[in-house]
């Protein structure tokens, strides 16, 4: 049994994997920012996402809905705009998590600690909640000179092909969180991506020098 499957509330391997609703809520918000609300809602409706126009999801959602929305964004708006919208969605998701999911004590303490120590502490919490953003994907951390967050089976690009790494939703979410909690000058770069044929999406964390 995988580690994720033992977590309380995990839907298990037989049921469709579910992830937190922010990937949909914040992507709709970012789409409305980019296109204007009327054009965004018109596109969502005509693309089979009318449910997202009617009401924002309030509970965990099937990961397949996020995968379908990202596919439709890339097909409907082209890779450059789709990647920009999804990056903005990731930043908005990070903002939401900082405001509602990260305890105030952690928000105060972590930036005061040495960066790698703070990252180790934060990573424990992120790993324990990995199924809420990785769905059926598998999250792990590689502790090299530059630490890496890796997701195998990443919902950000599942079934999609690209010439370069472009899971901008996850990259931006990680970067927003880590800049706020670890170091403002930190950067997150997706150095390999399943969309290009790599075995996992790997997000390298570079601390400011």
Binding site for Zn ion (CB under 5 A): 157, 167, 193, 201
**Of 44 and 82, CB closest to Zn ion:** 82
| Min CB(50)–Zn ion separation in Å | 28
SS3 state of residue 109: helix
**Of 178 and 201, CB closest to Zn ion:** 201
Pairwise CA distance, residues 22 & 37, whole Å = 18
Contact 17, 135 (CB under 8 A): yes
| Min CB(56)–Zn ion separation in Å | 25
| Min CB(60)–Zn ion separation in Å | 22
| Min CB(199)–Zn ion separation in Å | 11
Neighbours of 105 (CB within 10 A): 8
**Of 40 and 174, CB closest to Zn ion:** 174
**Of 41 and 166, CB closest to Zn ion:** 166
Pairwise CA distance, residues 117 & 13, whole Å = 33
Pairwise CA distance, residues 86 & 67, whole Å = 12
């Amino acid at each position: 049994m995988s580690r994720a499957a033992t977590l309380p509330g995990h839907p298990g391997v037989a049921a469709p994997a579910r992830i937190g609703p922010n990937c949909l809520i914040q992507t709709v918000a970012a789409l409305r920012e980019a296109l204007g609300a009327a054009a965004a809602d018109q596109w969502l409706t005509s693309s089979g996402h009318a449910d997202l126009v009617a009401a924002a999801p309030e509970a965990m959602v099937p990961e397949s809905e996020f995968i379908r929305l990202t596919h439709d964004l890339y097909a409907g708006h082209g890779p450059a705009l789709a990647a920009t919208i999804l990056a903005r969605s990731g930043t908005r998701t990070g903002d939401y998590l900082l405001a509602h999911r990260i305890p105030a004590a952690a928000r105060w303490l972590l930036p005061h600690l040495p960066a790698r120590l703070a990252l180790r502490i934060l990573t424990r919490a992120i790993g324990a909640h990995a199924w809420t953003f990785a769905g059926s994907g598998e999250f792990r951390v590689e502790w090299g000179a530059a630490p890496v967050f890796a997701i195998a089976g990443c919902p950000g690009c599942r079934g999609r092909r690209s010439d370069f790494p472009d899971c901008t939703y996850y990259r931006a979410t990680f970067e927003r969180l880590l800049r706020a909690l670890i170091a403002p000058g930190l950067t997150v770069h997706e150095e390999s991506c399943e969309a290009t044929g790599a075995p996992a999406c790997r997000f390298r964390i570079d601390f400011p020098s």
